[in-house]
């Protein structure tokens, strides 16, 4: 076995191979490394910090539960993103079927554990308020996009993935990814114009 500190230095794919053999330290390293990004993707898909945290936990739970299905040599990030998107889609289907889960003390979307972009200090209070309102509007619009568009846009803009990585995660062609992102951006732009 290896030291936990050494695990932090290993590439994702090697850690995933170790996880597939049941190595908890490797799993913990992957969770620490990717939790913030997975949470961000879930938040952009759901629009709720509490739901996003639940979905992020479910993503890592499923990753561990299905660890033996990881194929050596496969890009770990694409595999993780596919699990994350599937968890979010399953949650959305449940919400449509059963209605939303109401939680006491649910976090306001604007505070979302630092997910909302912080305002530059150089802006005056009025400009900061305008930027904050724009960010909230865009976040709200993104949660209303059709699921295929939202998933592609969130993975590109908020997840920082390349078109190829998104295509791998969503199991579609690069052309389809580009089309979905373009359509999502057009819809966001049109919604923003309608609000003015």
**How confident is the model at residue 118, as a pLDDT?**
41
Q: How many domains does the chain have?
A: 2
Buried b (16+ CB within 10 A) or exposed e, 132-143: beebeeebebbb
Q: Is residue 107 part of a domain?
A: no
Q: Is residue 111 part of a domain?
A: no
Does 74 share its domain with 133?
A: no
Residue 138 has pLDDT above 60, yes or no: yes
Among 11-15, 16-20, 122-126, 190-194, which is the least confidently predicted range? 122-126
Residue 75 has pLDDT above 70, yes or no: yes
Q: What percent of the chain stands above pLDDT 70? A: 80
Q: Which of 70, 100, 130 is the last residue of a domain?
A: 100
**How confident is the model at residue 27, as a pLDDT?**
93
Does 75 share its domain with 14?
A: yes
Residue 147 has pLDDT above 60, yes or no: yes
Does 91 share its domain with 9?
A: yes
Q: Which of 38, 69, 100 is the last residue of a domain?
A: 100
**pLDDT confidence bin for 96, thresholds 50/70/90:** low
Q: Is residue 132 part of a domain?
A: yes
| Domain region containing 138 | 122-196
Question: CA 184, CA 141: separation in Å to the nearest integer?
Answer: 10
**How confident is the model at residue 122, as a pLDDT?**
54
Query: Which residue did the predictor score with more confidence, 129 or 164?
Result: 164
Radius of gyration of the chain (CA): 18
- CATH number for the domain including 60? 1.10.1740.10
Residue 57 has pLDDT above 60, yes or no: yes
Mean pLDDT of the chain: 80
Q: Phi/psi at 2 (nearest 5 deg)?
A: -125, 170
């Amino acid at each position: 076995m290896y030291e936990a500190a050494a695990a932090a230095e290993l590439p994702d794919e090697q850690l995933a191979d170790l996880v597939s053999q049941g190595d908890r330290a490797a799993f913990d390293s992957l969770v620490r490394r990717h939790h913030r990004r997975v949470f961000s993707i879930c938040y952009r898909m759901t629009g709720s910090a509490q739901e996003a945290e639940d979905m992020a936990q479910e993503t890592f739970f499923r990753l561990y539960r299905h660890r033996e299905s990881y194929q050596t040599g496969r890009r770990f990030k694409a595999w993780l993103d596919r699990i994350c998107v599937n968890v979010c889609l399953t949650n959305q289907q449940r919400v449509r079927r059963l209605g939303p889960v109401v939680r006491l003390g649910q976090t306001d979307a604007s505070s979302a554990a630092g997910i909302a972009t912080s305002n530059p200090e150089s802006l005056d209070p009025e400009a900061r308020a305008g930027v904050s309102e724009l960010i909230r509007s865009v976040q709200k619009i993104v949660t209303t996009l059709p699921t295929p568009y939202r998933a592609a846009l969130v993975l590109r803009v908020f997840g920082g993935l390349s078109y190829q990585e998104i295509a791998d995660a969503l199991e579609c062609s690069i052309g389809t990814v580009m089309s979905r992102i373009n359509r999502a951006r057009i819809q966001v732009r049109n919604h923003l114009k309608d609000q003015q």
